[in-house]
Amino acid sequence: MTQTKLVIGFDNVFIEEARKAAKRAADAATRDDAGTAAGATATAVLLSAAACEARLAEYVTRRESEFGTEFVAQVRDQSDLREQWKQVVKEVASDFDLGTKEFLALGCLFKLRNLVAHRHAKFLPLGKWPKELQDCIAQKAIPVDKTGGMDWTSATYVHEVAEWAHQTAAKWLATMAGLGIVATK
């Protein structure tokens, strides 16, 4: 019987899988395989966001005695993952600028993840974006082709977005590691 090994640092597991998914999406695009590219992009988006969520959850859990149960409860009770990050960053590094493009991109990653994971199918005219993504598209935070000839999912589930999702999460996690916000310490 094999022994199951404890996995600590799911952020690293998920970000690596997101990288692989982004590569699969890019490879599929070179073969003009839109279905595989779409599936790999959805995977990259979901796993990139999961990496950021795992880092935050493991970090807060491992430091509950330092933060105090009241602060940890406030973070956990916040349903918006971007707001959870804001609370923790303010607590750990109050001088960190949360007005950066990285933090904007992180919020857009979470919005896109929510649409991918919890898509409420509804008709949108070609070239129109779900309201949750409109600011992200207007600010060019997500690299999508805004041509009016396709629906939002066809414009979003492409290898450029898969690569963006992975890079957004990887940059955020690296920035947070620089602040000492790591899960496996």
User: 18-72 pLDDT, tens per residue?
Assistant: 999 999 999 999 999 999 999 999 999 999 999 999 999 999 999 999 999 999 9
**pLDDT for position 119:** 75
CB 171 within 8 A of CB 19: no
Q: Token pair for residue 84? A: 């959870």
CB 168 within 8 A of CB 48: yes
Give residue 148's identity as a one-letter amino acid code: G
Q: Is residue 2 part of a domain?
A: no
Q: Is residue 171 part of a domain?
A: yes
**pLDDT for position 184:** 72
Q: Is residue 139 part of a domain?
A: yes
Give the contacts of 172 (CB within 8 A, at least 6 positions apart).
Answer: 52, 102, 103, 105, 106
Task: Please choose, from the candidates 59, 65, 50, the residue with its C-alpha nearest in 3D space to the C-alpha of residue 89.
Answer: 59
- Domains: count for the chain: 1
Q: Is residue 4 part of a domain?
A: no
**pLDDT for position 121:** 63
Q: Is residue 36 part of a domain?
A: yes
Residue 146's domain comprises 10-178
Q: What is the DSSP letter of 6?
A: P
Q: Is residue 185 part of a domain?
A: no
**pLDDT for position 88:** 97
Number of H helices, E strands in the chain: 9, 0
Tens-level pLDDT at each residue, the chain (185 residues): 677 766 678 999 999 999 999 999 999 999 999 999 999 999 999 999 999 999 999 999 999 999 999 999 999 999 999 999 999 999 999 999 999 999 999 999 999 999 999 876 667 888 888 999 999 999 999 998 765 678 888 889 999 999 999 999 999 999 999 999 998 75
Q: Is residue 155 part of a domain?
A: yes
Give residue 122's identity as a one-letter amino acid code: K
CB 51 within 8 A of CB 169: yes
